[in-house]
Structure 1
Amino acid sequence: MTETVAAQTRQSAAVSWLRFVARRLAGVAAVLMVLVVLTFGMIQLIPGDPARAVAGQDASPAQIAEIRRQLGLDQSLFARFGDYVSGLLHGNLGTSFQTGEQVSQIVADRLVFTVELALPAVLIVLLVAVPLGMVVAIATHNGRRRPLDNGFTVATSVAGAIPEYIVGTALVLVFAVLLGLLPAAGAASGAALILPVLAVALGPSCTLARIVRRETTAVLGTDYSRTARGRRLPPLRRYARHALPNLLTSTLTIGGLLLAHLLGGTVVVETVFAWPGLGSKVVEAIAQRDYPVIQGIVLVLGAIAAVLNLFVDVALGFLDPRTLTGKAQS
C-alpha cells in the first residue's frame, strides 16, 4: 500500500513538472514571437535611409536606388518581414548592411565581452545584496537600531535610483581621472573590467538588498523562527538553515526581473566605457542605420533575458514545489 502511494506521488510530481515546464516553454515561445515582431517594427521608426548611409552623402539617386534594391529595401514591408522570419527559422540573423558580415558572427564576437561584463556583475549582486540585506534585517529586527534601518533604506534607495550611465561617469571621474588608479575605457586589461562591472552591479545590488531585508524581516516574524529562537539554536544555524531557504523563493522571483534589468544596464554601461560588447555595437549600428545588426542584437538580448527568467522559474520549482501548480498552498 505504501509503495502504491509513493508511486502515485512520484507520478503526480512528474506530471506537475511536465505541465510546469510546458507552461514556461510556451511563455518563452510567446515572448520570442513578440520580440521578432518588435525588433522588426522598431527599426521602421529609426529616421534616415540606410541605403544612403551605405552609399555615402555624395552618391547619386541612381546609386542609392541600386543599393536599396541590393539590400531588399525596395520590397514591401510585409515581404521584408516574411524574409526576416524565414531567415530566423533557418538560423540566419541576416547580413550587415555596412560590412557584409553575418550578423550571427558579429553577435558571437561581441557576446563574449558582454558575458564577461555581466557575469561578474551578477556574482557581485548576489554576494553583496543577500548577506547585506540579511544582516541589516537581523540587526534591526523588532525596532532595534533605528538609525541603521533608516540609513540603509535611504542609501540603497538613492543609490539604486541613479542611472547606470551616471554611475559609470562618476566612477571614471573619481578612479580614472582624479586618482588615476584604473583605466577609463577599453578592454585592454583585466583592470579595465572593474569600473564597468561596478557601474552595472550597484543599482541591482541596492534593489535586491532592500528586497532581501524586507523578506528576512518577514521570515524572522514567523512561528518557526520564534520556535528556533526558543530552542536556543546557534545563530548561524538558525539564520542559514531556517531563514535563508525560506526567503530565497520570494527573492528569486524578483531576482529574475533584476537579471533582465542588469542585462539592460550592461548594454548602457558598455557605451560609457567603450566596452566592445553588444551594447556598444548596437549603438553604432543605430547610428549607421544597420537594420540587420540592430535586429539581431536586440533579439539575442531579449532571448537571453527570457531564458534567464526560465532558469529562475525552474529554480523556484525546485525550492518551492507549490509553484509548479501556480498556487500557494497554506
Structure 2
Amino acid sequence: MRHLIRFVVSMAVLLVASFAMIHLIPGDPVRASLGPAAPVELVQARMAALGLDRPLIEQFFTYVGHVFTGNLGTSFISGEPVGDVIMARLPNTLMLAVLATVVSLLVAVPLGMWAAIRTENGRNRGTEITFNSVTGTAVAVPEFLYSIALVTVFAIGLHLLPPAGKTGPDSFVLPVVALALGPIAMIARIARVETLKELGSDYIRLARAKRLPAARLYFRHVLPNTLTATLTMGGLLLTALIAGSVLVEYVFAWPGLGLKITEAITQKDYPVAQAVILVYGGIVLVVNFAVDLMLGVLDPTSKIKES
C-alpha cells in the first residue's frame, strides 16, 4: 500500500512539474510557430484556439483532463497529433536503452567477477588499483562526452561507423556504446564487491575444501548469488539509460524521444515537450514501482517493516 501511495503522489508531482517546466521557459510558443512577422490578430486568434489566453490554473486542469483521457494535443509546429509523434519516436529510444542495458550487464558482470577473483584476499594490488581508477573515471564521464569522442574516432577519424541517424544495424553501435560505458563501469564495481562477499562466505570455503573445479565453483555457486544483487540494478539502470539518452540522441541525431524533446523545447512546442516529459517520467515511475514490488516479494524483511 505504501508503494502505491508513493507512486500516485509521484505521478501527481510529475503532472505538475511537466506543466510548470514548459510554461516557465521564456518565449511565446504561438509567435515561434507562426513566425515573427505574423499579425497580432492572427497570434491572438491562435492563442484563443489553443486555450493559451486562459488563466494558468484553468490551463493546468484542462491539461490534466486531456492526459487522463489520452488526448495529448496537437503539435504547435507540425500540426500532428502528439500521440502519433510519441509512438513514432518511443520505439527508437527504447531500443537504444534496452540494448545498452543488455550490453552493460553482459560486459560488467563478468568483468566485476574477474576483478574480484584476481584481487581476492588483497592479491594483485596493481589490478585492484587499475580497476578502481578506470571504472571510477568511467562512471564520472558524461554520456555526451563519450558520444563526441566515439564520433570523432570511429566515424570521422576511422570512417568505420556512421556518425548520425538510424541507417542500419551498424548505426546502433556508437550510441549504444556511448550509453553503456558508464553503466558498465558502475555495475562492474558492484559485481566485484558482491563477488568478494560471496567468495568470503562459509559455503564457498566449504566448496573449496571439497576441491570443486574452479569453473563449477564460480559459475554454479558464485555467479547466481552475485547476479541476484546485481540484476536488481537492471530495472533502475534501464530507466537511467532512457533518461540519459537525451543528449546521446542529440549528438547522434537519433530519431527518438530525446532528440524530439530538444527540438520541442527549442521551438516552444508545448504539447510535444510536455508529452515527452510525461513519457520519460512515467516510465521511470512505473519501472521503479515494479522494482519496489519485486523487492518486496523477494525480501521477507520488507513485510516486517511495512507491518
TM category, shorter? over 0.9
* Contact 1:114-1:277 within 8 A present in 2 as well: yes
Shift of 1:224: 2.2
Amino acid at match of 1:103: V
Q: Which runs of 5+ in 1 are unaligned?
A: 1-21
Matches within 5 A, 1:131-146: 131-146=110-125
Amino acid at match of 2:15: V
* Contact 2:109-2:187 within 8 A present in 1 as well: yes
Match of 2:130 among 126, 144, 151: 151
* Contact 1:249-1:316 within 8 A present in 2 as well: no
What residue number does 2:170 align with?
191
Tell me how far apart the structure 2 counterparts of residues 238 and 202 of structure 1 sit (CA, whole Å).
29
What residue number does 2:75 align with?
96
Match of 2:195 among 213, 216, 223: 216
Tell me how far apart the structure 2 counterparts of residues 260 and 245 of structure 1 sit (CA, whole Å).
24
- Asked if 1:239 is matched to 2:229, the reply is no
What residue number does 1:56 align with?
35
SS of the equivalent of 1:93 reads coil
What residue number does 1:124 align with?
103
Matches within 5 A, 1:21-100: 22-100=1-79
Q: Which runs of 5+ in 2 are unaligned?
A: none
Tell me how far apart the structure 2 counterparts of residues 259 and 187 of structure 1 sit (CA, whole Å).
21
How many residues are treated as equivalent by the alignment?
Answer: 306
Amino acid at match of 2:108: A
Deviates most, 59-68 or 81-90:
59-68
- Asked if 1:297 is matched to 2:290, the reply is no
Tell me how far apart the structure 1 counterparts of residues 273 and 253 of structure 2 sit (CA, whole Å).
18
Shift of 1:249: 3.9
What residue number does 1:322 align with?
300
Amino acid at match of 2:79: G
* Contact 2:143-2:182 within 8 A present in 1 as well: yes
- Please tell me the root mean square deviation across aligned C-alpha atoms, in Å: 1.9
Tell me how far apart the structure 2 counterparts of residues 325 and 238 of structure 1 sit (CA, whole Å).
33
Shift of 1:71: 1.4
Matches within 5 A, 1:164-179: 164-179=143-158
Q: In the superposition, relative to structure 1, how do residues 158 and 23 fare at CA in structure 2: closer, same or farther (>3 Å)?
A: same
TM-score (norm 2): 0.93
TM-score (norm 1): 0.87
Identity among equivalent positions (%) equals 50
Q: In the superposition, relative to structure 1, how do residues 47 and 326 fare at CA in structure 2: closer, same or farther (>3 Å)?
A: farther
Amino acid at match of 1:225: I
Tell me how far apart the structure 1 counterparts of residues 207 and 288 of structure 2 sit (CA, whole Å).
34
* Contact 1:176-1:182 within 8 A present in 2 as well: yes
* Contact 2:236-2:287 within 8 A present in 1 as well: no
Alignment deviations for residues 46-66 of structure 1 (CA, whole Å, 9 cap, x no partner): 110111112211012222211
Amino acid at match of 2:280: L
What residue number does 1:271 align with?
250
Alignment deviations for residues 85-128 of structure 1 (CA, whole Å, 9 cap, x no partner): 10111112222111222211110000111122112111101101
Shift of 1:323: 5.4
Tell me how far apart the structure 2 counterparts of residues 233 and 317 of structure 1 sit (CA, whole Å).
35
Shift of 1:258: 2.8
Amino acid at match of 2:38: A
Q: In the superposition, relative to structure 1, how do residues 312 and 243 fare at CA in structure 2: closer, same or farther (>3 Å)?
A: farther
